A and B are shown apart, each in its own frame.
Chain A
Amino acid sequence: MPKALYIDPEVTLRPQEHEIKFPEIPVMQYKKSVKDELKEGNFTKEDLLRIYRDMFTIREFETMLNLVKTTGGYNGVEYNNPGPAHLSAGQEAAAVGMAYNLDTDDFIFGSHRSHGEILAKGLRSIEILPEKELKKIMDEFWGGATVAVAGKDFKGSTKELGVRFLIYGAIAEIFARTTGFNKGLGGSMHTFFTPFGIYPNNAIVGGSGSIAVGAALYKKVNRKKGIVVANLGDGAMARGPVLEGMTFASMDQFHTLWEGDMKGGLPVLINVMDNQYAMGGQTKGETMGYTFPARLGAGFNPEAWHAERVNGYDPLAVIDAFRRKKALLEKKEGPALLDVVTYRYSGHSPSDQSSYRTKEEIAAWEAEDCIVAFGKKLIEAGVASQKDLDAIQAKMKETIFEMYKLAIDPVISPRMDLVKDNELLGDMMYSNGSVDSFGDAKPEVNHPMEENPRVKQIAGKERFYLDKDGKPVSSMKAYNFRDGVFEAVVDRFYKDSSLVAYGEENREWGGAFAVYRGLTEALPYHRLFNSPIAEAAIIGTAIGYAMCGGRVIPEIMYCDFLGCCGDEIFNQLPKWQAMSGNILKMPVVVRVSVGSKYGAQHSQDWTSLCTHIPGLKVVFPVTPYDAKGLMNSALQGTDPVIFFESQRLYGIGEQFHEGGVPEGYYEIPIGEPDVKRAGKDVTFLTIGATLYRALKAADMLKEQYGLEAEVIDARSLVPFNYEKVIESVKKTGRIIIAGDASARGSFLNDLAANIADLCFDYLDAAPAVLGSRNWITPCHELEEAFFPQPEWFLDIINEKMMPLPGYVPTGNFTAAQQIIRAKKGV
């Protein structure tokens, strides 16, 4: 909603004389022969033979895996590979054609079926990297452990060693060896090697569709060389995150609002490996309606994404298309879409019997086989003899067999011993780094921080909720929760040039809850912008951005929208640090606002969903002091943090930290709960805004029964240090764990179970969980019956811990009622 863009009714409302025109999308228009290309000087003989070699390498690699899966060995050497193998035999020309024009700075992202792509891109990088650089990459990788095996007793050239290194690293990864490209933690569907520009392949169909767009955003914003290619299947074009990612990449603002050298499209190419099948479903004629995936481009922008459908059985046709598209992206005319026609000989996986297609169909495609056909063309053009081609085949077969034997050797290619070293993988879940800036440039800002209107406004505020005389400060003058978050965020924007923030209404509006008010003035568009209403793209692009080395704050306006980016939050963001063998960092701070007042789809506390997924850090500060300190920690760190904020509390002042919220930079370590009030008779451990209701309950308990409650604010959910809670429970013997999440299946129960375990001998009653009811959140007027209320704390004490003399309960917390509700499922 930028004011700069005027929506003119004169134009918008009046009758028009024209229709929406779609550009024509070329289909299979490459017609050159090998001789033509040679004549035009586009290739040397060596180039063409290398293309043949690369295609054959992929074929033999996949053949090896297929034999291992189906016959339990390769060339008579037995091996059992229990993991997945989604093979791409048949798609070699598409893969090699894709990689042929790419430099090491160009990144590819893939799918579950990407062995061919990584080999093609790897072989390409080995070919173009200066020997010294290639040697350095290999020597430094895992401290030289991988190259030491691949180069065992090998006397050949660095480039030849590079080929061995690539093949060995990939096989070792697929076979879960520590010498594999990701220490064996990624496996077949996630094998990648960033020094060659090979970024994560993704086992979730279409997962790369938004992540790759984020990588392109990183390249653009940080002025990094190269383009980004997302290799997706034709089936993936049905996936929401792909369509959301394409929507994000199509945003007008890159052309209309972004300024200077930032103006222009994202350097991203969606490359559809159109192998005709989505598992067993036929995308053409059965499960999709696009006829050709290329058609999709027409829906996203006036250029139809420069979409083209090309012959993926001819490597030269693919190379031709990529050459043109890459040039276009480099001119900032992206994004682009290619639909590369190919065919998958094997089933979806070795368990697929191809019952959905005829033998005749497979035979007909095999008769057109891209490697055989290309070989014939080379012979026809006089580039090579059959003998030359046989020699290439023999050499690659030998190399793959050698690498295979090395990779299955448990002594030289060991697996991680997670039984013996029980904490090894646990220690890889987070990178726990502390990094001031991920950018190497000077942060781009519009003015010095002290000139910022919001910064000036905050400077005039009282930083504690009481003034010097102990009187409450008016809400306009009180430093509040919003200010706490803002100060940490603006500080980081002035420190880290890589930092970007985006989400719905993040710019002029300042975020739906005005946290970012003032940032618009401080930052150019490319560092703070409004995204489409596409949560999967907001988080997906942030993941791609971080993976490439940038820091990012995506925002989810309401906690309830987490479901819209479920895969990104639960399957992508938490996993890639460990899945990469700790090669990737994930400095993403997802701001999520927890609603109230807005009913069933806007008032849910879903913190528990995030705590359940290993790999995320989860914080939920509820005071300005904690908000600033925890946001500083989150932004200094290198891990994904889900940063929850309560809409009940944006205007609240600091009531706890003596002297108010410090003006300078400080960090509150993630994972440390905080005692907000000391007491001796019962402990209240709260998550989120429930803290303030717990404090009210503590007041009532003190006034009416002379009992003192100790109130602890969890602040962080994951990680969580129990020591302070244990200390408290040892003292009080009783604990209520309270939060606004619906009680069933919530993290409250997790805390309760651990406390019961850790404090058993000190407990005078079982830890009690006080969450919201297991209902829809009713509308605001009815919320008191849903969210935990101060009286409910007393009810629980009376019913479950120590009967309070003369107490009249407000709610029914009896065991009988608990059972009845559970029986009803509410």
Chain B
Amino acid sequence: MPKQGQSVESCIVSEFKKKPGDSVKVGDVLFGYETDKATFEEESQVEGTVLAIFYKDGDEIPCLSNVMVIGEPGESFAEFAPSATQGRSEPSSAVSLRSTPPISDGPLPLSMPRVAAASEGTTSPASWTAAPGAPASPRARKLAEDKGVNLDAVAGSGPGGRIIERDVLAAAAAQGKLSGLAKAKMAEGGMIAGEGSGLAGTVKAGDLKVWKPNHTDIPGEGTEFETVKMSNMRKLIAKSMYNSLQNTAQLTHMLGADARKLQALRKKAKKALEEGKVDANITINDFVCFAVIKALQKFPEVNSHCLGDAMRIFKTVNLGCAVDTERGLMVPCVKNSESLSISELSKALKKLADDCKKGSVNPDLLASEAASFTVSNLGGFGVEWFTPIINVPQSAILGVGTMTLRPIMEDGNVAFVPYLGLSLTYDHRAIDGGQATRFLKAVATEIETLEVEL
């Protein structure tokens, strides 16, 4: 598994494109994989036959460990299998999803009741917050197989959250008796028992449902709606957005900026491009970003990360820029953006957006820690104002809306002037309202007075 950037420790295989026995040529795509922000495809660098694949679709694989073996048929491959320590580490997300906090062996007072005992048992298994891939004792596994219980849907009450016998017994009691076929289907995984329609409430194969953690059952599955699993990337976005709203004190100020200067600059830039004076198509957004960078240099406390009990004040402006892709939202960043000219900035932003759409962006630039501030522009879609969500640990994010005409009094006359909608969401833990307002105003002033050599 290649290491895509220094901070990446593991990647998730989205899909294997080859199976054991397939022959591959140099350049064939072997498998697709993704980090928390980007997707990649691994091409074969050798020719041969796939002898073994050590993982399956959806597995999280530590970087630099062996994924598959290509060789000549008949060659041995077992020695390449990733060792146990290298192996399938549990997705880190599993821990935070557990119903009970992970129990450390250290100072936790042992007398504390450690678990929400599953054996209280009136709740249905599907409504428990279970941890997919949580450890289960061999006895629990065997029992789950015998009783047709989906271990993914069972919360563990044993040491360290281990699913033990009593948890499976409670789950089995709650779901009732399963028919033989239902058990067999259940063993394939991904299902839970619905209400039994057979004799004496026996759960038949047709009563099984796709298992969905974190939500309750409602009628209409299959007819009114279909439940589909989230992609891994979607789950990661969900996690980080939810984390932002859960763990910061964010609010949004909105302010309009006179955009006449912007329009003039855009016109000038278009002309310069046509005349070949510049080699970049500098957009309104590029000018806005350019103005934001200037403002940020005057407000270092906004160009920052809020760490809860400390601030990380940046000396450079690492400007994050939200990009909408087919797979979801991505926020790559331009490091040291304050050192760039407007055309350099424009080109850098363009390249990042393209890379994101292609999936070839450097994951290090996608980490939320990489950027010191983010700009998200929805102006192209006509959105006037919105409340962007902070990309934690950053302290603030600027949402850029569309231009609207606003009547203003000028020399005693009413005139319609284009105004750009600026929405600054900031973390009140890091920045007070007055300061945020002054910064937002400074951005507006920069936009209104921007002078750029082309």
Contacts and interface: CB of A to CB of B under 8 A. Distances in A.
Interface of A: 733, 760-765, 798-803, 805-809, 814-817
Given A760-B138, A765-B164, 8 more contacts: A761-B142, A763-B139, A764-B137, A799-B110, A802-B166, A803-B158, A814-B105, A814-B106
Interface in B104-118: 105-106, 110-111, 113-115, 117
Contacts of B157: 802-803
Contacts of A817: 105
Contact of B117 (A760, A764, A801, A805): A805
B158 A802 contact: yes
A733 B167 CA distance: 13
Interface string B88-120: 000000000000000001100011011101000
B110 A798 contact: yes
A806 B164 CA distance: 19
Contact of B113 (A761, A806, A809): A806
> What are the 10 A-B residue pairs with the smallest beta carbon separation, nearest first?
A816-B105, A764-B139, A814-B105, A764-B137, A764-B165, A733-B139, A808-B111, A761-B142, A764-B164, A803-B114
Contacts of A801: 158-159, 164
Interface string B160-184: 0010111000000000000000000
Interface residues of B, number: 21
A497 to B, nearest CB: 55
A798 B113 CA distance: 11
Interface string B112-132: 011101000000000000000
B361 to A, nearest CB: 41
A765 B138 CA distance: 8
Interface string B177-217: 00000000000000000000000000000000000000000
Interface in B252-279: none
B105 A761 contact: no
Q: Of B115, B138, B142, which is in contact with the most chain A CB atoms at under 10 Å from its CB?
A: B138
B154 to A, nearest CB: 13
Nearest to B111: A808
Contacts of A799: 110, 159
A763 B106 CA distance: 26
Nearest to A815: B105
A762 B110 contact: no
A765 B113 contact: no
Nearest to A733: B139
Contacts of A803: 113-115, 157-159
Contacts of B400: none
Contacts of B139: 733, 761-764
User: What is the interface of chain B mostly: helix, strand, loop, or mixed?
Assistant: loop
B349 interface: no
B140 interface: yes
Contacts of B164: 764-765, 801-802
A815 B138 CA distance: 19
A799 B111 CA distance: 11
Nearest to B140: A764
Contact of A765 (B111, B117, B137): B137
B294 to A, nearest CB: 53
A683 to B, nearest CB: 13
A809 B109 CA distance: 10
B111 A807 contact: yes
Contacts of A760: 138
A808 B106 contact: no
A762 B111 contact: no
Interface string B140-154: 111000000000000
Contacts of B115: 803
Contacts of B117: 805
A763 B110 contact: no
Contact of B110 (A733, A765, A802, A807): A807
Given A760-B138, A803-B157, A803-B158, A808 B165 contact: no
A803 B106 CA distance: 16
Contacts of A805: 113, 117
A823 to B, nearest CB: 14
A385 B442 CA distance: 132
B158 A765 contact: yes
Contacts of B142: 761-762
Contacts of B159: 765, 799-803
Nearest to A798: B110
A347 B111 CA distance: 70
A347 to B, nearest CB: 46
Contacts of A806: 111, 113
Nearest to B114: A803
29 contacts: A733-B137, A760-B138, A761-B141, A761-B142, A762-B139, A762-B142, A764-B137, A764-B138, A764-B139, A764-B158, A764-B165, A765-B137, A765-B158, A799-B110, A799-B159, A801-B158, A802-B166, A803-B114, A803-B115, A803-B157, A803-B158, A803-B159, A805-B113, A805-B117, A806-B113, A809-B111, A815-B105, A816-B105, A817-B105
A710 to B, nearest CB: 15
B114 A763 contact: no
B111 to A, nearest CB: 4
Contacts of A763: 137-139
Q: Of B105, B113, B142, which is in contact with the most chain A CB atoms at under 10 Å from its CB?
A: B105
A803 B162 CA distance: 11
Contacts of B111: 806-809
A763 B157 CA distance: 15
A709 to B, nearest CB: 15
Q: Of B114, B139, B162, B166, which is in contact with the most chain A CB atoms at under 10 Å from its CB?
A: B139
Contacts of B105: 814-817
Contacts of B137: 733, 763-765
Nearest to A760: B138
A799 B105 CA distance: 9
Nearest to A799: B159
Contacts of A733: 137, 139, 165
Nearest to B112: A806
A814 B117 CA distance: 21
Contacts of B162: 765
Contacts of B158: 764-765, 801-803
Contacts of A814: 105-106
A815 B159 CA distance: 11
B421 to A, nearest CB: 55
Contacts of B166: 802
Contacts of B138: 760-764
A507 B110 CA distance: 55
A339 to B, nearest CB: 63
Q: Of A763, A809, A816, which is in contact with the most chain B CB atoms at under 10 Å from its CB?
A: A763
A760 B139 CA distance: 8
Contacts of A764: 137-140, 158, 164-165
B134 to A, nearest CB: 14
A760 B115 CA distance: 25
A629 to B, nearest CB: 34
Nearest to A762: B139
Nearest to B115: A803
Contacts of A815: 105
A3 B111 CA distance: 62
Nearest to B106: A816
Nearest to B109: A808
Contacts of A809: 110-111
A800 B115 CA distance: 14
Contacts of A762: 138-139, 142
Contacts of A802: 157-159, 164, 166
A795 to B, nearest CB: 9
Nearest to A800: B159
Contacts of B113: 803, 805-806
A771 B113 CA distance: 27
A802 B142 CA distance: 18
B102 to A, nearest CB: 13
A814 B162 CA distance: 15
Nearest to B136: A764
Contacts of B110: 798-799, 807-809
